[in-house]
Each structure stands twice: as structure tokens, then as C-alpha cells.
């Protein structure tokens, strides 16, 4: 490939960051499958919309830039949506890993200060 005379510019050197990945992919490949979880399938456009809805719901509850959002989720589509939706607000995602021992979680994290929201996420 001949690259002589090509300086760096937006067309050839734009970094693909985690925050830019989903909107870009949803715009370029909206109908392609992004998530497969059992019998459930989401396209990139659907995943992007779901992440935006999560960000909107969190913002409506006062979550914003610099806040930390902790989630206790297994590897399900809602976790992927959180990985995209929370940073859309400028907030930080903290995934609390509890493994199989929920009693450990309750004992060590049950007294942590924060606002608790339980989402019925489908």
C-alpha cells in the first residue's frame, strides 16, 4: 500500500475508543447481530438503543459525570449494556463480582453507602 503524501487525518487515524465503538458500529452495521444470549439476539442498533435507554434512566435519577455506578450482574446482556450505558454519562462502572457466594457479597458490601436501584431488565 502506498501511503506517500498521506498525512494523519480523521479519515485515516481516528482512534476507536470503547465509547466510540458502539455508536459507530450501530451506524455502519445496524442490522448485524451484536449479542447472542441463549435464544435472545440483539443487533448493534438494538444494543445501542438499550445502552442509551439505560444512560437516560440513570441520568433521570441524578447519575452524572464522575459518579460511580456499581452493578452486581452475571455475564448477561444487561452487563454489556451497563458497560456502554454508564460511560455514556461520564460515570464510572464498578462491577461487583460475587461469584457463587452471595453471602460474601451481603456481608462485605451490604453496608456500603450508595443509592440502590433495582432494574427489571429484559
pLDDT tens profile 70-118: 888 888 999 999 999 999 999 999 987 766 566 665 666 555 555 555 5
Q: Is residue 85 part of a domain?
A: yes
Using the predicted structure, report yes or no on whether residue 19 has a pLDDT greater than 90: no
Percent of the chain with pLDDT strictly greater than 70: 75
Q: Does the model's pTM come out above 0.85?
A: no
> What's the Cα-to-Cα distance from 22 to each of 45, 63, 104, 111, rounded to whole Å?
9, 21, 34, 35
Q: What is the spatial distance between Cα 79 and Cα 17, in angstroms, rounded to a whole number?
A: 19
Which residues constitute the domain of residue 65?
17-109
Q: Mean pLDDT for the chain?
A: 83
> DSSP 3-state assignment of 2?
coil
Tell me, what CATH number does 49's domain have?
3.40.50.980
Could you say which DSSP state residue 117 is in? -
Calpha distance 81→93 (Å, rounded)? 11
47 part of a folded domain: yes
Residue 64 has pLDDT above 60, yes or no: yes
Amino acid at each position: 500500500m502506498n501511503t506517500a503524501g498521506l498525512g494523519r487525518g480523521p479519515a485515516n487515524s481516528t482512534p476507536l475508543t470503547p465509547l466510540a465503538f458502539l455508536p459507530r458500529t450501530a451506524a455502519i452495521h445496524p442490522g448485524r447481530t451484536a449479542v447472542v444470549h441463549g435464544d435472545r439476539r440483539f443487533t448493534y442498533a438494538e444494543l445501542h438503543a438499550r445502552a442509551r435507554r439505560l444512560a437516560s434512566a440513570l441520568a433521570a435519577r441524578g447519575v452524572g459525570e464522575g459518579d460511580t455506578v456499581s452493578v452486581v450482574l452475571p455475564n448477561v446482556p444487561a452487563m454489556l449494556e451497563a458497560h456502554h450505558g454508564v460511560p455514556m454519562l461520564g460515570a464510572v462502572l464498578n462491577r461487583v463480582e460475587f461469584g457463587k457466594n452471595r453471602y460474601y457479597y451481603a456481608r462485605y458490601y451490604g453496608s456500603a453507602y450508595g443509592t440502590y436501584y433495582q432494574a427489571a431488565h429484559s
